[in-house]
């Protein structure tokens, strides 16, 4: 029987070299997959270094250990002493580095805690107090988003399904960004490769299109590109947008890049640069961004981003910074125990398009997080300019429940509200959607008195009903426009039955407007004839926040005086040959 040969341990130089090669290989794979920033303010950087230390130590131990000699009996004390000698000889510098990594990480976390730096955390966000009625103008209807993120993604995905040449190769990415594009609120999203095989066969030309969903008209369209998008999240290798950024900027920390298009429709990735302003790891903030051309991959760092960029600061970061601002108002201890004057944001947010910028909206409530808001925040997502508006009233979710209660028989679901200025009143605007994520109707809920809920199948109808409710409740006063009168010969008469009431619409010679007269209030209008001379007392219409103007304006008449009749027969009933509106 042959005697088993013992394996000889690798020499010191060989084991060191092989261990370094193994460590480098594992480190490269980890870096390629996890993409840690080589930055002492990044927690991932310390994890990366610690992994390298562990891999090196395990490798050199496995390559240098001597096989057991059964003929030699060693006590546990002798084995421990031998192990310490090996560590001291081969791994001591690496173990010291490992210990230093842990110490720096732990100390960095401690000195960055809000308990020690409450004032610095509170100064992360500058909050100005604003006047809601003055600062937030009545938004026009062609700027009011009527979709939420889920509904917009549903429409974008459905639109992709109508394109036979794309649906088998590409899919909707469900990664949309709300921006202002050519003066309108839209959501834009790139398409993605359907699977790995589709990526392999189409990667040469890139992604041929992106999807735009108009948040007002609810129209989704696929915009085809002359040259495809080469850099995106659906790329698995070097053209993956995060890997592309890491290789170009190895020391920068980035927030998740957002897909946007400029005013010409060219696709870009906006990668906000993350900085830590407090201690080593605390006080996360944004300082500029890297703009990456989604087609060519060319990138440029901008300390101040161009005006067409809409999404530099994300709502979650703003809400986190306000929570520091609101909870640390009297120091850390008060934020936990006394909680005097402590405020915090509510759990949701939405977007408002104003002045060619996108603003994030969220409510502000007390530390008890009850069913009432103290006010709300509006923050410019490009500049971080933040205003607080005092508006005591219902929370967003209480308003959503109130709106759903009005249409509970239809089973509609309320989306997260949008805050609007309607007749000078802070108002929650809530689209209500069905089970298929399609918006079916709209609700407006008064912030201060959330039992005031108006609904309508159009935004205009909802607003008119809401304004009337405010007048009926005495919250706003009915504006009395200046009274005037019109005199002349009747050139045209039209009739209509509106909500069970008969109305006559009279146009006088030489004018382009119609005067609306209720038959119930002016019975003589029923006997009116063409060419009769009349005097109509009326009030000019109160302007609404509608952008468009009707082709023919209609003034509400109050009193009709028939001054002179023509000689032909008058009517006692509605003329059958007259036009109806």
Reported as a single tens digit per residue, the pLDDT across 386-431 is: 999 988 888 888 899 999 998 888 889 999 998 888 888 889 999 9
pLDDT of 542 over the 80 cut: no
Q: For 231-239, what is the mean pLDDT?
A: 94
Q: Which of the pair, 366 or 3, is modelled with greater confidence? A: 366
Tokens representing residue 493 in the block: 């008469």
pLDDT of 304 over the 90 cut: yes
How far apart, in Å, are the Cα atoms of 30 and each of 25, 47, 52? 9, 10, 10
Q: Which of the pair, 450 or 164, is modelled with greater confidence? A: 450
Per-residue pLDDT, 63: 77
pLDDT of 543 over the 70 cut: no
Per-residue pLDDT, 514: 83
pLDDT of 525 over the 50 cut: yes
pLDDT digits (tens, 9 = 90+) for 218-229: 899 999 999 999
Per-residue pLDDT, 547: 40
The DSSP string of 50-77 is HHHHHHHHHHHHHHHPPPP-TTS---HH
Per-residue pLDDT, 149: 86
Q: Which of the pair, 199 or 142, is modelled with greater confidence? A: 199
Per-residue pLDDT, 93: 85
pLDDT of 86 over the 80 cut: no
pLDDT of 273 over the 90 cut: yes
Per-residue pLDDT, 7: 52
Per-residue pLDDT, 348: 86
pLDDT of 294 over the 90 cut: yes
Q: Which of the pair, 265 or 80, is modelled with greater confidence? A: 265
pLDDT digits (tens, 9 = 90+) for 184-207: 889 999 999 989 999 999 999 999
Q: Distance (Å, rounded) from C-alpha 433 to C-alpha 222?
A: 23
To which H or E segment does residue 430 belong?
strand 425-433
Per-residue pLDDT, 296: 95
Share of the chain above pLDDT 90, in %: 45
Per-residue pLDDT, 581: 41
Binned at pLDDT 50, 70 and 90, residue 8 comes out as low
First CA to last CA across the chain, in angstroms?
A: 113
Contacts of 479 (CB under 8 A, 6+ apart): 542
Q: For 356-376, what is the mean pLDDT?
A: 83
pLDDT of 46 over the 90 cut: yes
Please state, rounded to an integer, the average pLDDT across all residues of the chain: 84
Q: Distance (Å, rounded) from C-alpha 188 to C-alpha 258?
A: 10
pLDDT of 555 over the 70 cut: no
Which span out of 88-102, 292-306, 340-354 was modeled with the highest average pLDDT? 292-306
- What count of residues does the chain have? 581
Handedness of CA 557, 562, 568, 570 (dihedral sign): positive
Q: Distance (Å, rounded) from C-alpha 380 to C-alpha 384?
A: 5
Per-residue pLDDT, 423: 83
Domain edges within the chain:
12-67+74-111, 145-312, 396-472, 483-564
Q: For 505-523, what is the mean pLDDT?
A: 83
Token pair 């480098």 is found at 24
pLDDT of 473 over the 90 cut: no
Binned at pLDDT 50, 70 and 90, residue 45 comes out as very high
**Alpha-carbon Rg for the chain in angstroms:** 35
Per-residue pLDDT, 41: 95
Contacts of 376 (CB under 8 A, 6+ apart): 361, 362, 363, 364, 388, 389, 391, 419, 426
Per-residue pLDDT, 5: 53
Q: Which of the pair, 20 or 564, is modelled with greater confidence? A: 20
pLDDT of 528 over the 90 cut: no
Range in 79-93, 174-188, 320-334, 366-380 the model is least confident about: 79-93
Q: Which fold has domain 483-564?
A: OB fold (Dihydrolipoamide Acetyltransferase, E2P) (2.40.50)
Q: For 551-557, what is the mean pLDDT?
A: 60
């Amino acid at each position: 029987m042959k005697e088993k040969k013992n394996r000889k341990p690798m020499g010191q130089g060989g084991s060191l070299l092989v261990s370094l090669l193994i460590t480098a290989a594992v480190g490269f794979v980890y870096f390629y997959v996890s993409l840690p920033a080589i930055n002492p303010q990044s927690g991932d950087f310390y994890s990366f270094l610690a992994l390298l230390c562990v891999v090196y130590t395990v490798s050199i131990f496995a390559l240098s250990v001597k096989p057991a000699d059964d003929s030699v009996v060693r006590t546990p004390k002798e084995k421990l002493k031998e192990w310490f000698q090996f560590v001291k000889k081969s791994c001591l510098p690496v173990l010291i580095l490992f210990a230093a990594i842990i110490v720096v990480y732990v100390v960095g976390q401690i000195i960055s805690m809000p308990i020690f730096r409450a004032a610095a955390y509170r100064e992360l966000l500058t909050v100005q107090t604003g006047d809601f009625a003055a600062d937030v103008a009545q938004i026009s209807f062609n700027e009011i988003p009527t979709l939420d993120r889920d509904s917009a993604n549903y429409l974008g995905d459905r639109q992709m399904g109508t394109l036979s040449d794309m649906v088998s190769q590409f899919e909707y990415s469900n990664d949309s960004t709300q921006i202002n594009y050519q003066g309108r609120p839209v959501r834009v999203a790139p398409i993605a490769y359907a699977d790995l095989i589709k990526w392999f066969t189409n990667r040469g030309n890139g992604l041929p299109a992106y999807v735009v969903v108009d948040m007002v008209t609810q129209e989704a369209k696929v915009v085809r590109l002359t040259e495809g998008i080469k850099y995106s999240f659906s790329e698995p290798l070097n053209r993956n947008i995060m890997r592309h950024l890491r290789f170009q900027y190895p020391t920068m920390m980035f927030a998740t890049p957002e897909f946007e298009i400029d005013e010409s429709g060219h696709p870009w990735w906006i990668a906000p640069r993350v900085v830590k302003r407090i201690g080593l790891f605390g006080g996360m903030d944004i300082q500029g961004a890297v703009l990456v051309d989604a087609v060519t991959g060319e990138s440029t760092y901008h300390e101040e981003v161009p005006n067409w960029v809409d999404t530099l600061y994300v709502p979650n970061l703003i809400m986190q910074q306000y929570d520091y601002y609101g909870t640390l108002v009297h120091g850390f201890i008060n934020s936990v125990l006394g909680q005097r004057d402590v405020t915090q944001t509510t759990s949701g947010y939405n977007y408002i398009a104003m002045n060619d910028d996108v603003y994030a909206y969220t409510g502000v409530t007390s530390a008890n997080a009850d069913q009432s808001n103290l006010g709300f925040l509006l923050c410019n997502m490009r500049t971080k300019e933040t205003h607080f508006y005092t508006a005591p009233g219902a929370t967003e979710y209480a308003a959503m429940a109130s709106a759903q209660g009005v249409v509970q028989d239809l089973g509609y679901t309320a989306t997260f509200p949008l805050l609007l200025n309607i007749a000078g009143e802070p108002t929650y605007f809530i689209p209500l959607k069905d089970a298929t994520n399609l918006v079916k109707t709209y609700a407006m809920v008064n912030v201060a008195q959330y039992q005031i809920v108006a609904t309508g199948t159009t935004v205009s109808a909802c607003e008119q009903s809401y304004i009337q409710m405010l007048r009926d409740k005495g919250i706003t006063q009915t504006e009395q426009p200046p009274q005037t009168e019109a005199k002349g010969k009747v050139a045209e008469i039209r009739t209509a039955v509106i909500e069970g009431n008969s109305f006559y619409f009279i146009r006088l010679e030489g004018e382009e407007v119609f005067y609306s007269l209720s038959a119930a209030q002016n019975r003589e209008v029923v006997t009116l004839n063409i060419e009769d001379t009349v005097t109509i007392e009326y009030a000019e219409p109160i302007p609404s926040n509608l952008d468009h103007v009707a082709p023919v304006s209609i003034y509400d008449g109050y009193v009709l005086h028939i001054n002179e009749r023509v000689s032909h027969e008058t009517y006692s009933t509605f003329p059958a040959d007259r036009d109806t509106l």
